[in-house]
């Protein structure tokens, strides 16, 4: 292998590597960077992660909310502010390697670091090409700065499917549920210094980080030089196109994205959910609507950790967050509700846990941070929309019931009456008629009734584990009845 800033010298296995890439749409090449080089990359990533937020059109930090609090999830537009790294990425062995696979000289088009701290969210199955509409010839080099494993959310590729163009593309720019279910994904576990080069048309995804270690990766996209140097144009366009807190031009991120690490001051703007609470049309979340059976234990562990961390905080002056969740789920179960609705009832306020909202926070009920959207975005990456949909609508369902059901408002707790006002108040009759016609609105109204009743002092309920190993597990493993109201 040549010097760092020279041309990449292929090993004797070049023909085999090229053949593998051609057949599969990606190739994993080990030890492209030696241990000293990998250590230097690691130091640079640490330095970049410590940079302050920039409001001067420089680097771009993005954050997400995890069960451990706000964490840096991505930094991009970095090479101009760390020239040593820029030389590696723009004129070193990487563009030479990518150019030989592409069959053309290349320019760096975009660069980013995805950190994926413990508890960090995954990315729904997608192809990169929809985000690069001005290009026709482009590849991405993935550099492992830290170990990437199944446990901490390595990339998974649908080998060989890059030849089919765009597959099952939704309005959000990701693969449809049906398209994802038809693909076989192979994990690409990597060690520091490894590089994986992949086509912008190969379907890929990554799981949440369920381990205790971070998984930092460099993503470097290159385009054929004949198409021009377009990196500056890309970042100008992206800055203009992105909403605050959004990570990408396609909506594949499965977590709660934040534009700042200061979680309490953020309205939870997610990459995959946009809902109005005033009776206007909502865009339903897309992406992985059903967690794979092998992922079920990880999802359950994630929920256990979340309730262990935040569940003992007070929902109101009478019940804790966990007590309220258990009472709501128990009421649904006793009423004969489906596993989908029991699960939605248990997790309807998971957004409060994600945002660390509770009575110990000043102004918990004075400001509407739209916990239902944060919760629904989190659930949509792990559960069917028969679970996420009612959760998404359970706040406007209270406003609906105040209009549609005589005596409903009078029976609300003082806390619910107070929160109703900051959530927009009672719907008009016309808004109520429009609301109940939405998908999952009837189930949301049913959930809402359980929610309002689930605030009794010391009410006996089954344990959290009863629901996790019962209804929730059946939903995660595809054994639940989907027929909900």
pLDDT digits (tens, 9 = 90+) for 354-394: 877 766 654 555 555 578 888 888 898 789 989 999 999 99
33-48 per-position pLDDT tens digit: 999 999 999 999 999 9
Distance CA 476, CA 22 (A): 35
CB of 115 within 8 A of CB of 214? yes
The whole-number average pLDDT for the span 309-332 is 91
Distance CA 225, CA 206 (A): 30
The two three-digit tokens of residue 422, written as one number: 């900051």
Where in the chain do CATH 1.10.3210.10 domains reside? 273-476
Share of the chain above pLDDT 70, in %: 84
351 closest CA partner among 379, 329, 328, 324: 379
Q: Does domain 14-258 have CATH number 2.60.120.620?
A: yes
The two three-digit tokens of residue 469, written as one number: 């190993």
337 class by beta-carbon count within 10 Å (0-12 exposed, 13-18 middle, 19+ buried): buried
At residue 368, the pLDDT reads 55
58-115 per-position pLDDT tens digit: 999 998 877 677 889 999 999 999 999 999 999 888 999 999 899 899 999 999 999 9
333 closest CA partner among 441, 423, 463, 239: 463
Which band of pLDDT confidence, cut at 50, 70 and 90, is reported for residue 481? low
The whole-number average pLDDT for the span 194-211 is 93
Q: Is the pLDDT reported for residue 484 higher than 50? A: no
pTM given for the model: 0.59
Distance CA 37, CA 192 (A): 10
Q: Is the pLDDT reported for residue 334 higher than 90? A: yes
Residues whose CB is less than 8 angstroms from the CB of residue 307 and which lie 6 or more positions away in sequence, other chains included: 321, 322, 325, 353, 464
Share of the chain above pLDDT 90, in %: 49
CB of 195 within 8 A of CB of 109? no
Q: Is the pLDDT reported for residue 4 higher than 50? A: no
Report the CATH fold assignment for 273-476: Hypothetical protein af1432 (1.10.3210)
Strand partners for 144: 217
Where in the chain do CATH 2.60.120.620 domains reside? 14-258
Distance CA 240, CA 36 (A): 39
């Amino acid at each position: 292998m040549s010097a760092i800033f020279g041309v990449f010298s292929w090993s004797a296995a070049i023909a085999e590597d090229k053949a593998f890439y051609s057949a599969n749409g990606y190739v994993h090449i080990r030890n492209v960077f030696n241990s000293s080089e990998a250590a230097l990359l690691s130091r640079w990533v640490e330095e970049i992660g410590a940079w302050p937020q920039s409001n001067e059109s420089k680097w771009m930090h993005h954050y997400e909310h995890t069960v451990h609090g706000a964490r840096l999830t991505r930094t991009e537009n970095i090479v101009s502010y760390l020239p040593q790294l820029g030389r590696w990425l723009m004129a070193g062995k990487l563009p030479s390697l990518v150019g030989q696979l592409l069959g053309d000289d290349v320019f760096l088009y975009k660069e980013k670091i995805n950190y994926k701290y413990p508890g960090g969210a995954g990315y729904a199955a997608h192809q990169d090409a929809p985000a690069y509409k001005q290009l026709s010839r482009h590849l991405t080099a993935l550099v492992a700065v830290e170990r990437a494993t199944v446990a901490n959310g390595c990339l998974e590729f649908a080998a060989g499917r890059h030849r089919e163009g765009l597959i099952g593309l939704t309005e959000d720019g990701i693969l449809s549920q049906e398209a994802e279910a038809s693909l076989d994904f192979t994990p690409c576990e990597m060690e520091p210094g490894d590089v994986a080069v992949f086509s912008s048309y190969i379907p890929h995804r990554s799981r949440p980080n369920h381990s205790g270690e971070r998984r930092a990766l460099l993503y470097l996209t290159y385009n054929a030089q004949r198409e021009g140097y377009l990196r500056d144009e890309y970042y100008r366009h992206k800055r203009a196109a992105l909403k605050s807190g959004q990570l990408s031009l396609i909506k594949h991120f499965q977590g709660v994205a934040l534009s700042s690490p200061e979680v309490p001051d953020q309205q939870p703007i997610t990459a995959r959910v946009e809902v109005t609470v005033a009776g206007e049309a909502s865009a339903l979340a897309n992406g992985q609507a059903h967690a794979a059976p092998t992922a079920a234990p990880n999802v359950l562990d994630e929920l256990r950790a979340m309730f262990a961390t935040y569940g003992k905080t007070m929902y109101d002056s009478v019940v804790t967050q966990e007590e309220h969740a258990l009472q709501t789920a128990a009421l649904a179960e006793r009423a004969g509700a489906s596993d989908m609705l029991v699960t939605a009832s248990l997790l309807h306020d998971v957004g409060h846990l994600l945002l660390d909202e509770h009575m110990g926070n000043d102004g918990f009920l004075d400001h509407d941070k739209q916990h239902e959207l944060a919760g629904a975005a989190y659930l949509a990456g792990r559960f069917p929309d028969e679970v996420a949909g009612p959760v998404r609508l359970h706040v406007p369902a209270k406003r609906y019931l105040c209009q549609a059901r005589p005596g409903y408002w009078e029976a609300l707790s003082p806390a619910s009456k107070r929160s109703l006002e900051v959530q927009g108040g009672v719907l008009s009759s016309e808004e109520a008629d429009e609301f109940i016609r939405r998908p999952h609105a009837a189930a949301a109204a049913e959930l809402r009734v359980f929610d309002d009743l689930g605030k009794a002092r010391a009410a006996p309920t089954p344990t959290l584990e009863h629901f996790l190993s019962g209804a929730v597990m059946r939903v995660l493993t595809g054994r639940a009845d989907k027929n909900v109201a």
